[in-house]
Structure 1
């Protein structure tokens, strides 16, 4: 499912809405992870302080794995980064079980698998449906572009601009989001939603070629 994994990452974070304005400091570790894995990035700068809500934008719009790691590291429990991330992934799997996602297992907070990060189109559509019921999530994923500013390590203000990887927002009338994914093993995936005539549809495509946006358009029509 590649980066569509981040939909569940967001759902777990949003179980704690009281933390949306909490500031998280970007660690060099998050930048190093992106470099080492070749993951997509929001280009977060070490020492910057972003709120949880800003990190949700950074994760869900440009698909920032650095932002996903920051959230997993701060919403998991444990004495080390590895322990906190493992705990967070356990929370993701617990949530999947509660949603009845019987064909899903997470071993990753961002979709870069360690051998057992898997799902089905049906499960991802169910996940997308649940996520879109969260007003904060729905508000984030509809943005074609988002600008944020955050206190930088040097005392100045850092300005970020993130562009959405979801082409449907620009090409499909009524598109609402949700999240793209791509990887060497996973192919191209897409969890999508659109509304017309007061009717909202959520769908998912996995292991597709690059025509996933055309396929989603046909499915929605």
Structure 2
């Protein structure tokens, strides 16, 4: 009877799309459609659910935008925000950093505007400058994805907004990208910052940008949130538990609150696995 129960449980987990270590242990309840969690310290997969299924990733796209900018620009470069940048974010109903036409900001500050409030105005300004032009910038994003071995990743814009053309990635590819960008000390510092302020310059008001990642501060050290109707609620996160660095990605969760519940359950389970055991 016990063997039958075990086999039935394994069959149910497989049908739910769970693979790897999750089959051998009690799996945390997750509501996201695709999930991948890796213990970078030990090199082990802690949880996997449809991790190779292609899906839209919403504003997680902006992590690649930041990566390309870091390879194209100096942090002290000054970019002038255009009316088109502001109009792009406003007309699409995207999240904005509150940039104003004519405003001059450094690339360093625009990275905060891009990654904390997830400003589509900032992504457009950076892409327009460092493509040059948005289409050329997207081509750079796709070349970078190919060079980094992200074989199931295609970008159609620098902000992750729905667009005809079929942009997609996978939870596994996004974890791989997260591990790469965390090696960049600038991006790593930006994504773990809860709040960044820009003092008033010239005729323009100051900015105060808050990180949309509600695991900060304390539960995580970055990275990025994302949402569109097509992608659902997405989250890329990194956390240190029990001396182990965990990098995870959730795609297609059911609500803003659900993605954080899922992440916390995954981290709680990973903490228990990483804890030393009496022998």
Q: TM-score, normalised by structure 1?
A: 0.90
- The structural deviation recorded for 1:145 is 1.1
- 1:120 aligns to 2:150 (yes or no): no
- 1:217 aligns to 2:264 (yes or no): yes
Report if aligned partners of 1:48, 1:158 keep a CA contact under 8 Å in 2. no
- The structural deviation recorded for 1:110 is 0.2
> Hey, what's the Cα distance between the residues in 1 that align with 2:250 and 2:204?
39
- The structural deviation recorded for 1:216 is 1.1
- 1:92 aligns to 2:137 (yes or no): no
> Hey, what's the Cα distance between the residues in 2 that align with 1:90 and 1:70?
16
Structure with bigger gyration radius: 2
**Corresponding residue of 1:7:** 63
Which residues of structure 1 form unaligned runs of 5+? 78-83
> Hey, what's the Cα distance between the residues in 1 that align with 2:221 and 2:114?
17
Which residues of structure 2 form unaligned runs of 5+? 1-56, 269-279
**Corresponding residue of 1:63:** 118
- 1:140 aligns to 2:140 (yes or no): no
RMSD of equivalent CA atoms: 1.3
Report if aligned partners of 1:186, 1:206 keep a CA contact under 8 Å in 2. yes
Q: TM-score, normalised by structure 2?
A: 0.72
**Corresponding residue of 1:32:** 87
- The structural deviation recorded for 1:98 is 1.2
- The structural deviation recorded for 1:149 is 2.4
Report if aligned partners of 1:48, 1:150 keep a CA contact under 8 Å in 2. no
* 1:127-166 CA distance string (max 9 Å, x none): 1111111100010011111111253xxx335310011110
**Corresponding residue of 1:188:** 233
May I ask how many residue pairs the two structures share in their alignment? 209
**Corresponding residue of 2:151:** 102
